[in-house]
Amino acid sequence: MEGEKRPPHAQLLSGETRASACQPSTTQAHTVAFSVPEHPGAEVVHKTHSPIKTPVLYPRLFSSYLLPVNRSSHLKVRMGFVQHCMNAAVRATVRVGLYTGAKVYFVHEGYQGLVDGGDHIRLATWESVSMMLQLGGTVIGSARCKDFRSREGRMTAARNLVKLGITNLCVIGGDGSLTGANEFRTEWSGLLADLVKADKITDAEAKQSSHLNIVGMVGSIDNDFCGTDMTIGTDSALHRIIEVVDAITTTAQSHQRTFILEVMGRHCGYLALVTALACGADWVFIPEMPPDEGWEDHLCRRLTNQRARGSRLNVIIVAEGAMSRDGQPITSEQIKKLVTDRLGFDTRTTVLGHVQRGGTPSAFDRILGSRMGVEAVMALLEATPDTPACVVSLSGNQAVRLPLMECVQVTKDVTAAMAEGRFEDAIKLRGKSFENNWNTYKMLAHINPPDVKSNINVAIMNIGAPCAGMNAAVRAAVRMGIIQGHNMLAIHDGFDGLAQGQIEPITWTSVSGWTGKGGSMLGTKRSQPGKMLEEISQNIAKFSIHALVIIGGFEAYVGGLEMVQAREKYEEMCIPIVVIPATVSNNVPGSDFSIGADTALNTITSTCDRIKQSAAGTKRRVFIVETMGGYCGYLATMAGLAAGADAAYIFEEKFAIKDLEVNVQHLLEKMKTTVKRGLILRNEKSNANYTTDFIFNLYSEEGKGIFDCRKNVLGHMQQGGTPTPFDRNFGTKMGAKSVLWLTEKLKECYRHGRIFANTPDSACVLGMRKRALTFQPLADLKEDTDFEHRIPKTQWWLKIRPIMKILAKYDIKLDTSEHTDMEHVIKKRSPLGK
C-alpha cells in the first residue's frame, strides 16, 4: 500500500494529510455500514441506480475531497458494546450519509440485528438522530451475538446485507468487534458462494455485492486499542472518575483517611494512569508496569512521607487488571489490608464499576465521535476492493487512517509483552501518549528531591484572565523544579506583582491539592510589563531570578515578547523564559490548544444541553447564546459542533445580512419538521454591528408567528468551574515539560559564572502542534500573530466549521485537495525485535 498513488483528500483533525484514500467507483452502488459486534449499531443503507454526472464535493473534518460518486450508496450503522458518545458517531454517520445522497438504516441490537434482519433494520431520517448528542450509551441498542460467531450466522448476516445492496461496513467497538468485522470481510466471497449454491441469493446479486469494505471507529472506555491516542468514550469515563475522586477527596481530607479507588480498564491501565495524574495520586497500580519487588515497603514509606509533609489524606489508584511482576493479581482489598496493618491508617476502598460507563458524554467525546463518523463515511466512499480494512484513529491533534489488523496485532503484542515480562516494551507499544503520561507521573510521584539544592531560582507567574487548569500547571512546574534541585519562587498578581516585589518561595506542600482547583491560586492580572520594565528588571536582580515560567493567555504571550524585546536595554531580562498558553479563548499563537479551553467548552456545551431541552419542551423556540473568546471563535465553533447548533457566528468567518437571512430561512424550514427548536451561537466579538441584541431582534421579527426567540449571555461562568481531566493532565504535562526545558536552557546559557540568555530560542512558547508538544521562539511567532485582534493568523479549527454546517443540514460545498498515503503502525513494534 505504501507508495501507491491515492486520490486527494483532506485530514480529519488538521490540515496535514495522513489518512488513506482510494479511488471510488463511479458506476457501482456504494454501501456504508457502521458496526460494532456485541454493541449497538445503526445501519445506514442507500442505493443508487444511476451515477451523478457532476462531481459531488465531500467535506472532510477540516476540508474536503472532490469525489465523483453514485447517489445510490447504502449506509449501514452497527455498534457493539455500549460506550460514551456512540450516539455522536451514529448521528454524524447518518447525516453525512444522507448528505451524500445515501439512504440510512438503523440496525438495532448490534450483530444480532444484522443476523435477524427484518424489523431490526429500520430507515433512519435526519430528524431521527436529533437530540442524541447529550445521551450516553447508544439509542439503538446493543447485544452480544453468539450467532455471528458461527459461519452459519455470518452467512445469514451476509444474505441480509446482499438483499439490501450493502457492501460497506463501519464498525464501532473494541479490538474484538473490529477483528470480527475483518473476519467477516475476509470470508465474504466464500459466504456469497455458499449462498448462491443454497439458492438464497442470485448470481447477479452476488456479482453486485462482490466485495465488502470495512472501516472501524474505536469505541472503548478502556482506551486499550493501539494506534489511537484516544478512543470514543474514554474522556467521558475520565469525567465520571474525576467527579468521584473529587467527592472522595473532600471526605478523606476531613477524616485524614487513605482511599483506594479501583477503576476499569481490564488489562489496560490508561484510565488509572490518567486519573492518578489528574488527582495527584500518591500511587498507581497499572498492568503495563507492575511495581518492583518490595513495593509494599516503598508504598508504606511514600504514604508516611506524605503525611509527614502535612498531607491529611492519601489516594491510591488501582487498575482492575493490576498485577505483580510474577503475574499475581494486586487487589484493592490486598492494598487496604497492607496499609491498615502496617501503618494503622483509616483506609477505605471504592470500586467505581459501571458508573464509569454512564452519564452525559463530554464535549471532547461528542466532537471526536462526530469527526470519526464523518471520516468513516468518507473512507468507505473512497474504498476499492483492494483497500484493506482500516480504522479511523486520533494521533495528537490529527486524525489518521491505519490498517485495522495492524492495530489489532500491536494491541495483541502489548498483551504478549506483559505476559513475557517485557514491561518497558508494553509501555512503548501503548503509544507515545501513554508513554508520556507514565514518564510524567513517574517523575512527579516517584522521584525524591535531591538532598543538595542548586543555586538556581525559577519564578512562576500567571498572566491574563483566570482559567481552569492554571493551578495544575503551576503545581507540576513547582514540583518538577524542586525535583531538579531548583529553588522555586511564586510571583503573585502577574507583572504587577513582579514589579512590586510580591515574590516568595513556594514549596512542595504549598501546591498540594492544586490540580483540581479552578481559577488562579497565585493571582493574575492583565497588566503588561512595558510600563514597568525598570521595576521588573530591578526585582529580577534583587531576587536572583534565573528563569521565568509565564502561564496565561494572549497577555502572557505579549508580555513575554516585550521582555525579549527589552533585553538590549535591560540585561536582567536575559534569562530563559517559557510561556504556557492558558486561556478559555484558545487564542495564543504557537499552540493548537490552551489550558482551560476544554473546561470552558464543557461548560458551554452543558448549558446548551439545558437550553435545547427547554426549547424542545416549549416547541418552536430559538435560543441565541453568546460565548466568550474575544475575537477568537474557537469556543463558539467547537461548542456548536458538540451541542448540535444550527449556526455559530465568529469573527474569523465574515458574515453579512444575507447570511443571517439564510439562517433565518433555515430555521423557518426546520420548524416544519418534527424538530421544532433552534440553537444559535455567537462569539462575543464576531461583529461590531451584528450584536447579540441585533441578531435576537432580527430572528424575533422574521420568526413572528413561526417561532419565538430567547437570548443568553453566558459571561464569566465560562472562566470558572472545576478543571476537566483533559485540562488537569494537559496542565500537568505542560508544567513539567516547561521546567525540564528551562533546566537544559540554563545549562546552555551558563557562561562565566552567570546566566546570560539572549538568543531567540531562549524565550519560547510551549504549545501543542498537531502531534507533539513543541517549543517555538516568541520572536518567530510574531509573523503569525494578529496583534490588533489578539488571535493567530492561522487557526486549525476553522477547517472543522463546514462539518458543523453539514450536520445542521446546510448545503455546503468545498474543494480542498491533498494527497496522502495510509499510515502503518507495525513500525511501533520495534521493541519486540530486541
Binding site residues, as ranges? 144-145, 174-177, 220-222, 257, 264-266, 320, 348, 354-357, 526, 583-587, 621, 628-630, 684, 710, 716-719, 790
Indicate the burial class of 686 (C-beta count within 10 angstroms; 0-12, 13-18, 19 or more): buried
Q: Give the C-alpha separation, 449 to 452, whole Å.
A: 9
- Please give the angle made by the CA atoms of 13, 438 and 236, to the nearest 5 degrees: 50
Q: Give the C-alpha separation, 370 to 197, whole Å.
A: 41
Which residues contribute to the annotated binding site for substrate?
Answer: 220-222, 257, 264-266, 320, 348, 354-357
The set of cell numbers assigned to 434 is 501513554
The set of cell numbers assigned to 347 is 483506609
Helix (H, G, I), strand (E, B) or coil at 799: helix
Question: Catalytic annotation on 222?
Answer: yes
| Residue 329: Cβ within 10 Å count | 11
| Residue 716: Cβ within 10 Å count | 10
CA-based nearest residue to 640, from 791, 815, 806: 806
Cβ atoms of 570 and 599 closer than 8 Å:
no
Segments in 507-553 forming alpha helices (H)? 533-542
Residue type, 823: E
Q: Give the C-alpha separation, 222 to 233, whole Å.
A: 8
Q: Which residues contact 613 (CB under 8 A, 6 or more apart)?
A: none
Which residues contribute to the annotated binding site for ATP?
Answer: 144-145, 174-177
Residue type, 163: K
Phi and psi at 37, nearest 5°, equal -60, 140
Q: Which of 222, 229, 413, 425 is catalytic?
A: 222
Pair type for strands 103-107 and 283-285: unpaired
Q: How far, rounded to the nearest angstrom, does the alpha carbon of residue 172 sit from its chain's CA centroid?
A: 17
Helix (H) or strand (E) holding 249: helix 234-255
Q: Give the C-alpha separation, 279 to 586, whole Å.
A: 24
| DSSP for residue 129 | G
The set of cell numbers assigned to 635 is 469556543
Q: Which residue has the cell 469505541?
A: 219
Beta bridge partner(s), residue 169: 214
End-to-end CA separation in angstroms for the chain: 27
| DSSP for residue 317 | E
Which residues contribute to the annotated binding site for beta-D-fructose 2,6-bisphosphate?
Answer: 526, 583-587, 621, 628-630, 684, 710, 716-719, 790
Cβ atoms of 700 and 709 closer than 8 Å:
yes
Segments in 100-149 forming alpha helices (H)? 110-116
The set of cell numbers assigned to 829 is 513494534
The set of cell numbers assigned to 365 is 467525546
Cβ atoms of 529 and 494 closer than 8 Å:
no
Pair type for strands 547-552 and 457-463: parallel
CA-based nearest residue to 170, from 82, 58, 90: 90
Phi and psi at 413, nearest 5°, equal -65, -35
Phi and psi at 417, nearest 5°, equal -60, -40
Q: Give the C-alpha separation, 624 to 634, whole Å.
A: 17
Q: How far, rounded to the nearest angstrom, does the alpha carbon of residue 596 sit from its chain's CA centroid?
A: 14
* Max Cα distance, the chain (Å): 91
Cβ atoms of 812 and 806 closer than 8 Å:
yes
HSE of 606, CA atoms in CB hemisphere, 13 A: 14
Phi and psi at 332, nearest 5°, equal -60, -40
Phi and psi at 715, nearest 5°, equal 65, -145
Which residues contribute to the annotated binding site for Mg(2+)?
Answer: 175
Q: Which residue has the cell 464576531?
A: 686
CA-based nearest residue to 269, from 288, 283, 282, 290: 288
Report, as residue numbers or ranges, the catalytic residues: 222
